[in-house]
Amino acid sequence: MNDPQPYSKVARSTWGDQKFQALSDRSKFLWLYLLTGPHCTSIPGLLPNVGIGTIADGLQWPTSRVRKHWAEIEAAGMAIADWSANVIVLPNAILYNDPANPNVILGWRRIPLPQCDLVVRALRAIRIVLSSKEDPRPWVAAFDEAFRKGFPEGFLKPFRESFGKTGSGTGTGDQEQGSGTGSGTGPITGRVETVEPVEKPAADDGIRITNDDRKDAIAIRQVNDCPHRPPCKTIANCVDLMATAFAIRRYRTRVLAN
């Protein structure tokens, strides 16, 4: 049985997301159902015990309609499923639904999860996001306490193996992230390069690191090793450096355009 949820966070800017706008009306309805339906748990983007029949019953749709509109969402890179295990993952949900505190993470262990590769990869990707926090220690410690016993394989494989590649029956492969509006598209893979670490900009130089810069950096770190030379000592440091580089690049582009 899933844990009770009083509400689900959905960004209002979802309606301006290009991938969301490209969906048909019924596919948009299905996407919102995936984000907010009774199957949602407190683990962001991880929907266990949800199959085609479950969705069909919940929406009172024929299964053929569910399959048709699921295929549209999957093709957009917004969700991945392993129907043999009845589990759906919305890969970027954790980027927009951070747990409020480590105690919330400890509560995740009460949620029954199927033992399958997609769940392992979803948990590993969430752990990377938690590891990118300014002080990741209490967050990662809570996560490890919640899941290391039940999913030890999720802590043995390299971090880069998250959603970049999927196994058989799990949906799409590499996808690009959408416009950062919370629509749950796949991780970024195209902005990685080997770079020297950059200095953090001063507060008064006009360069501002945005939340989207950090989200882009986290999504990249989920599927790639550290691109810096020398390599960063921590994921948090790596994410901070990448976000800074994105902010500087955006600032330079704006200056040249003017």
Who has greater pLDDT, 169 or 114?
A: 114
By three-state DSSP, how is residue 204 classified? coil
Largest CA distance in the chain: 58
The total of other beta-carbon atoms located within 10 Å of residue 27's CB is: 20
The confidence band for 206, taking pLDDT boundaries of 50, 70 and 90, is: low
Shared domain for 41 and 150, answered yes or no, is yes
Indicate if 27 and 96 belong to the same structural domain. yes
122 and 17 co-located in one domain = yes
**For the chain, what is the mean pLDDT?**
78
**CA–CA gap between residue 89 and residue 162 (Å, rounded):** 12
Count of domains forming the chain: 2
Same domain, 16 and 140: yes
**Confidence (pLDDT) at 177:** 31
What spatial distance separates the first Cα and last Cα of the chain, rounded to whole Å? Answer: 57
Q: Show the beta-strand stretches assigned E in the chain.
A: 46-48, 80-82, 87-89
- Check whether residue 112 and residue 233 sit in a common domain: no
User: Domain boundary residue among 155, 177, 196?
Assistant: 155
Q: Is residue 175 part of a domain?
A: no
Pair 149, 30 in one domain? yes
77 φψ region: left (φ > 0), alpha (ψ -120 to 50), beta (else): left
In a domain, 180, yes or no: no
pLDDT (mean) for 143-154 = 82
Q: What is the pLDDT of residue 256?
A: 63
Domain presence at residue 196: yes
What's the pLDDT band for 35 if we cut at 50, 70, 90?
A: very high
* Residue span of the structural domain in which 237 resides: 188-258
Phi, psi of 97 (to 5 degrees): -135, 60
Residue 62 lies in a domain: yes
* 54: exposed, middle or buried (Cβ count in 10 Å: 0-12, 13-18, 19+): middle
Q: Are residues 129 and 66 in the same domain?
A: yes
Q: Give the pLDDT confidence of 36-62 residue by residue, as tens digits.
A: 999 999 999 999 999 999 999 999 999
Q: Are residues 142 and 193 in the same domain?
A: no
Domain shared by 16 and 139, yes or no: yes
- Mean pLDDT across 231-248: 83
CA distance 79 to 114: 17
